[in-house]
Chains A and B, each alone.
Chain A
């Protein structure tokens, strides 16, 4: 590997590691509309909710093997998404929520068995996926769109894993529906408040 290739390779690795943190830092100079920031505010709180869901599901030891690894990975993804959205909001001049701002409510029995737990997780991930699809399709700032499209791709994987855990298909509908923030907010209100 010559010196030029080495430098390019190192730069590529750096971008990959920093992920969207670098992208969202760059958004600070851009002017975001309230509508665009509403996607991020809802997404941030709901990613915290999803992270808590995965933590509760893992603690309940409902599944083992690959399914358990999917739950652990989902929690990691939710934490990364929350960090990226928090950076985005801070860069846009807003006070980003922190996990401690919320008191999540899990109905009794949610984590008693894999099926009801997966159903709760599906409600949350589908709401997030729908919101992120809306954001990716409507936001004016290109780097925002990229972020939300990327998170949509990851959420679709989480929906597939949870759907399979709930007894459904891992690969679902061809065109998942985009939803507005209000609809998604109503869907998760019983858990998020």
Chain B
């Protein structure tokens, strides 16, 4: 009897494992490898946790794909990175899937007493930004130029490799201020205060996504992108603070 019970228990475990495996087969048996901009970390992970993600600066991911990294999808925080790969025949034609805005963040303690972006011109501020090769770094310099605040670059104490690093430094109080996407600011809203940047000074932040040409799972990759462009995908992005598909995405 004891042996029968053990066999039944073992069989139950096997069946349970089999069922579990079957239930997840469509999403986890052959997950996509998605290379995505660091600013998409929260939203992509929540939208579809079943896929494999590699998050970093879009420029870093672009280089990795050029070097043959085994990605199925590339999602970039700037059109340039995706378009360069497309021109090289390394990804299919990219499409714009969302947009974003920049903000200045300061630690809750606000040691430099910053209340406006214009304070960067008049106050001695330890500023942290991303390096110019990463999209948010380029966008930051566009904002500073548009607002005639490039003198603030003299106060930069650190240039980071992606927006997450900028956000972390400010949230931890290692800098007085930093330029990040509003979506990243939102993720640490308990640690930072957001100083808005006027609409007229905003850069045109557009995200593009494309199937990697060498993907061994192109049909699934195309379906995933279609899902992201669908009402459900766009709602996930909107809930995370991203902007709707832009009316003009030149």
Interface positions of A (Cβ within 8 A of B): 33-35, 37-38, 41-42, 44-46, 94-95, 97-98, 100-102, 181-182, 185, 189, 192-193
A100–B246 Cα distance when bound, in Å, is 8
Q: A98-B248, A98-B250, A100-B247 are in contact. Are A192 and B200 (CB under 8 A)?
A: yes
Which residues on B sit within 8 Å (CB–CB) of A46? 200
Those of B211-250 within 8 Å (CB) of chain A: 246-248, 250
- Bound-complex Cα distance A33 to B147 (A): 11
Interface size on B, residues (CB 8 A): 19
Chain A proximity of B132: nearest CB distance (Å):
16
Q: How far is the CA of A189 from the CA of B196 in the complex (A)?
A: 10
Neighbouring A residues of B202 by C-beta, 8 Å: 101
Known: A100-B246, A189-B198, A193-B199. Contact between A95 and B204, CB under 8 A?
yes
Picked from A34, A37, A101, A192, the residue with its CB within 8 Å of the CB of B248 is A101
Pair B146/A37 contact, Cβ less than 8 Å: yes
> Nearest chain A CB to B40's CB is how many angstroms away?
22
Pick the contact of B199: A37, A38, A45 (CB < 8 A): A45
| Chain B residues within 8 Å of A42, by CB | 198, 200-201
When chains A and B are docked, how far (Å) is the Cα of A33 from the Cα of B149?
A: 11
Q: Mark B21-49, 1 if CB is under 8 A from A, else 0.
A: 00000000000000000000000000000
Chain B CB within 10 Å — which of A41, A44, A192 has the most?
A: A41
Q: Give the complex CA separation of A85 and B198 in angstroms.
A: 18
Residues in chain A near residue B247, CB distance under 8 A: 100
- In chain A, what residue has the closest Cβ to B117? A182
- 11 interchain pairs, CB-CB under 8 A: A35-B148, A37-B145, A37-B146, A95-B142, A97-B204, A98-B248, A100-B248, A101-B248, A185-B198, A189-B199, A192-B200
